[in-house]
Amino acid sequence: MSDPLLSVRDLRVDFPTRRGVLTAVDGVSFDIHPGEILGVVGESGAGKSQTGAAVIGLLEPPGRIAAGDIHLEGQRIDRLSQEQLRKVRGRKIGAVFQDPLTSLNPLYTIGRQLTETIRTHLPLSEAEARDRAVQVLGEVGIPSPADRLDAYPHQFSGGMRQRVVIALALCVNPRLIIADEPTTALDVSIQAQITALLKRLCREHGTAVMLITHDMGVIAETADRVAVLYGGRLAEVGPVDDVVNRPLHPYTEGLMACIPTTHERPPRLAQIEGSMPSLTAMPPGCAFHPRCPHAFDRCAAERPPLFDHPPSAAACWLWAPEGARATERAAS
Amino acid sequence: MLAFIVRRLIQSVLVMLAVALVGFALFTYVGDPINNMVGQDTSIEDRERLREDLGLNDPFPVQFFRFVVNAAQADFGISYRHGRPVEDLLVERAPATLELSFAAGLFALFVGVPMGIYTALNRRSWLSKVFLTVSLIGVSLPTFLIGILLILVFSVWLGWLPSFGRGETVQFGWWSTGFLTWDGLTALIMPAITLGLFQMTLIMRLVRAEMLEVLRTDYIKFARARGLSARAVNFGHALKNTLVPVITITGLQLGSVIAFAIITETVFQWPGMGLLFIQAIEFVDIPVMAAYLVLVAFLFVLINLIVDLLYFAVDPRLRVGGGGGQGL
């Protein structure tokens, strides 16, 4: 396989607070290859968005990267100065946020916001930047883009605004787009359109996507590989087909069982008992063990590393290589 | 837009009528104007005749109507104390107050806005903390005390600036200006600072609070994510959004600067409308008081109207006919 475009190793994001340090992301590692769509799933508070923010260097203070490293195209980007990082943002990594209604500055025309972004990163004249803006707006499916260039954000509907946001993220052809819940705030009918648009554009431009969402449906439709986060830690990562159909980690298994299907209607929707522990009260050992149906002694005592089980990998003692499991059996 | 202006104009007229009613009530219920006009030895018959001649026996609505019609033509009668038409007195005094308010407003705006931006962008710097502490003093110290302290330091101890008056003025038709002479400008410094200090700290705190609010919004985060420079984000995207509410407050404050000039004018013996009003109160010079009341109300109404129109210039969402978007 080719060298990864983005490589995150043992990333830890801390939030120092008055009542101690909260670790929002704890030892997360993953790779994204050029042109690949990696889905990142998890419940609210699982650390999905913080992982995305850390990659793009936009953690809200007092949040900070406490450990680990992030490489983009072989260049380490987590130690860059704000000014150097600014040149990476937008140019190499684009971003799409959750709420298209608030992502655009209400006081400027979308044309201005586009040309401003284009001219920040590319040596183009105002007229050339406008041409490019029209072209990008056309690509994201805004009808008669040349006429809409001087419209203000409030003159667009929610779905159209998210298209504009995608145009803004893509206008200088970044290598990677971080899409943080890009469809959550939209109507269901529009969600599918936006997801399809994002997928098509990234295929055409060879752009990789880190798709952060809590919606397994979106992941199953769009992603090539999936990373499942739980309590700020990576639970499982692997090709989408394997993770959805043959989950390794009991949490992923529970998550998949929760997705209702239309052909068989259970009297009650399936759910995972209990709730995700808060960051202030992480249990020792595996973060999932209090809710895990397969938990045994070791789960409460020791935190599982990521065990390779090609094509996936899971952080669960159930998938420890034979040697490790044998010692476990002997101990119990 | 036109409908909006018309609606606002009608509202403004109603406000002015209400203020005129209060101003008129001063005449009717505070003392007896006849007593102020005639000598003590005037007979009761003469007084009654005068009362009848002046229309003071007419029913209330008729008298009020007459007052409004005269006021609309800037006719507020004759000052009891100066024996001259009130409007002449006001016109004579207006340039002094307007120039003072203008200078105070400029000071408040051009010092307050940059300080607000600085304290919002550098929240943790010690200079920001100094600004905030000093601004607290500015808000809590009464105007007359600041004025007297300034006089003590810069006029009495250091002898740099004049302690009272407008200095030399230049006459342009009916307008007398102190902006064109060195003497007039030095005389303006302390009164302008005294009058503008409270507004400056207010604007600074307002800009800071608004800016912090705007910096937290998604579109600022998104602007950063697009790799725009810090300058473009802070001054292009954040500042413009900050200024929308600042415009309103600053505009409204301009009205209160003119109205509150009374105290500053008294401290510095500034020959403006405020000083005229204070002296009018001492002598129960009701025509002057009523005229000043109506005039200040008129300024407030006018400024409000201008502020509303400025909104249209700044915020595209308010412009009508912008296509069928969802309002926010």
Domain boundary among A173, A188, A211: A173
Q: Could you tell me if A115 and A76 lie in one domain?
A: no
Domains plus CATH for chain B?
87-260 (1.10.3720.10)
Distance CA B319, CA A107 (A): 12
Asked if B92 reaches chain A (Cβ–Cβ under 8 Å), the answer is: no
Contacts of A304 (CB under 8 A, 6+ apart): A285, A286, A315, A316, A317, A320
More confident residue, A208 or A21: A208
Residue A48 predicted with pLDDT over 80? yes
pLDDT tens string B51-96: 787 777 778 888 888 888 888 887 888 887 777 888 888 888 888 8
Residue A330 predicted with pLDDT over 50? no
**DSSP-assigned letters across all residues of A131-151:** HHHHHHHHHTT-SSHHHHTT-
Is A311 within the bounds of a domain? yes
Look at residue A164 in the predicted model and tell me its pLDDT: 92
Q: How big is the A-B interface in CB pairs under 8 Å?
A: 96
Is A18 within the bounds of a domain? yes
Asked if B314 reaches chain A (Cβ–Cβ under 8 Å), the answer is: yes
Q: Could you tell me if A218 and A259 lie in one domain?
A: yes
Distance CA A72, CA A78 (A): 9
H runs (alpha helix) in B234-282? 239-267, 273-282
Is B237's CB within 8 Å of A168's CB?
Answer: no
Is A208 within the bounds of a domain? yes
Is A41 within the bounds of a domain? yes
DSSP-assigned beta bridge partners for residue A40? A212, A227
More confident residue, B27 or A73: A73
Q: Could you tell me if A229 and A319 lie in one domain?
A: yes
Q: Could you tell me if A63 and A142 lie in one domain?
A: no
Is A1 within the bounds of a domain? no
Q: Could you tell me if A247 and A266 lie in one domain?
A: yes
Q: How confident is the model at residue A31 (pLDDT cuts 50, 70, 90)?
A: very high
Is A15 within the bounds of a domain? yes
Nearest CA in chain A to B238: A105
Q: Could you tell me if A231 and A250 lie in one domain?
A: yes
Average pLDDT over residues A300-321: 86
Interface test with B, best of A50, A58, A105 (most B CBs within 10 A): A105
Residue B316 predicted with pLDDT over 80? no
Q: Could you tell me if A109 and A79 lie in one domain?
A: no
Look at residue B321 in the predicted model and tell me its pLDDT: 46
Q: Which of A91, A102, A158 sits opposite B227 (nearest CB)?
A: A91
Length of chain B (residues): 328
Domain boundary among A158, A173, A188: A173
Residue B258 DSSP class: H
Is B317's CB within 8 Å of A116's CB?
Answer: no
Is A117's CB within 8 Å of B222's CB?
Answer: no
Specify the CATH number for the domain of residue A76.
Answer: 3.40.50.300
Is B237's CB within 8 Å of A108's CB?
Answer: yes
Residue-wise burial string across B191-210, b where 16 or more C-beta atoms lie within 10 A, e elsewhere:
bbbbbbbbbbbbbbbbbbeb
Q: Which of B146, B148, B130 is nearest to B138 (CA)?
A: B146
Interface test with A, best of B213, B226, B328 (most A CBs within 10 A): B226
Q: Could you tell me if A204 and A316 lie in one domain?
A: yes
Q: Which residues of B touch A187 (CB under 8 A)?
A: none
Q: Could you tell me if A204 and A134 lie in one domain?
A: no
Residue A228 predicted with pLDDT over 80? yes
DSSP-assigned beta bridge partners for residue A69? A9
Residue B324 predicted with pLDDT over 70? no
Residue A326 predicted with pLDDT over 50? no
Judged by phi (left if over 0) then psi (alpha if -120 to 50, else beta), residue A186 lies in: beta
Contacts of B248 (CB under 8 A, 6+ apart): B307, B311
Handedness of CA B103, B106, B107, B108 (dihedral sign): positive
Q: Which residues of A touch B223 (CB under 8 A)?
A: 105
Residue A227 predicted with pLDDT over 90? yes
Is A98 within the bounds of a domain? no
Q: Which of B226, B230, B325 sits opposite A117 (nearest CB)?
A: B226
pLDDT tens string B243-291: 877 877 787 788 888 877 888 888 888 888 888 888 888 877 888 888 8
Chain A nearest-CA distance from B213, in A, is 13
Q: Could you tell me if A276 and A311 lie in one domain?
A: yes
Q: Could you tell me if A197 and A275 lie in one domain?
A: yes
Q: Which residues of B touch A97 (CB under 8 A)?
A: 218, 221-222, 225
Distance CA B196, CA B5 (A): 31
Distance CA B68, CA B170 (A): 35
Q: What are phi and psi of A289, to 5 degrees?
A: -60, -30
pLDDT tens string B159-186: 888 877 787 777 777 777 877 788 888 8
Q: Could you tell me if A289 and A209 lie in one domain?
A: yes
Percent of chain A with pLDDT over 70: 95
Q: Which residues of A touch B229 (CB under 8 A)?
A: 86, 120
Domain boundary among A140, A158, A173: A173
User: Which structural domain, as residue segments, surrounds residue A161?
Assistant: 103-173
Averaged pLDDT of chain B: 83
Is A97 within the bounds of a domain? no
Residue-wise burial string across A20-51, b where 16 or more C-beta atoms lie within 10 A, e elsewhere:
eebbbbbbbbbbbbebbbbbbbbbebbbbbbb
The count of structural domains within chain A is: 2
Look at residue A111 in the predicted model and tell me its pLDDT: 92
